């Protein structure tokens, strides 16, 4: 079945450093979503990318969808302690289904 992988599994950065997490799917995705889960919390939607090669920015966060729509990345510029959490990408099983497959996540720690 479809698999969604993420690297790295963990990332420790000094506050102010940049951070990037990468998401790869075994199949072409119609769209990809990113979620953030704070420690002890639940996943919260960040963004959805739909178009091939799409780039979206949210303040210090930059999201990119690959040309082949099989990979995506999230880049955070100048991390802050509020960025701590686990970042998940999720892709639908098919264009019409609603079942999202989540990646294993990248856990970000930010040292002050």
Contacts of 39 (CB under 8 A, 6+ apart): 84, 85
Q: Which is nearer to other proteins, 19 or 35 (CB)?
A: 35
Q: Closest distance between other proteins and the C-beta of residue 106, in Å?
A: 10
Closest CB to other proteins among 14 and 95?
Answer: 95
Minimum Å gap between C-beta 74 and other proteins is: 14
Q: Does an H or E element contain 109, and which?
A: strand 106-111
Minimum distance of other proteins from residue 3's CB (angstroms): 11
Can you tell me the distance from the alpha carbon of 35 to that of 37, in angstroms, rounded to the nearest whole number?
7
Percentages helix, strand, coil for the chain (3-state, rounded to 5) are: 5, 55, 45
**Could you tell me how far CA 64 lies from the centroid of its own chain?**
9
The answer to whether 26 and 3 have CB atoms below 8 angstroms apart is yes
- Residues lying near other proteins in the complex (CB under 8 A): 30-31, 33, 35, 41-45, 48, 50, 88, 90, 92, 95-105, 107
CB of 95 to other proteins, least distance (A): 6
- Indicate the residue among 13 and 46 with the shorter CB distance to other proteins: 46
Nearer to other proteins among residue 49 and residue 110 (C-beta): 49
């Amino acid at each position: 079945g479809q698999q969604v992988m993420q690297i790295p599994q963990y990332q420790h950065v000094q506050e102010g450093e940049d951070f990037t997490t990468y998401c790869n799917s075994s199949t072409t995705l119609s769209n990809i979503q990113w979620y953030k889960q704070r420690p002890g919390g639940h996943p919260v939607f960040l963004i959805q990318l739909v178009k091939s090669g799409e780039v979206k920015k949210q303040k210090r966060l930059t999201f990119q969808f690959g040309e082949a729509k099989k990979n995506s990345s999230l880049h955070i510029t100048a991390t802050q302690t509020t960025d701590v959490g686990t970042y998940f990408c999720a892709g639908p099983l098919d264009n019409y289904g609603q079942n999202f497959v989540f990646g294993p996540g990248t856990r970000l720690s930010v040292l002050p």
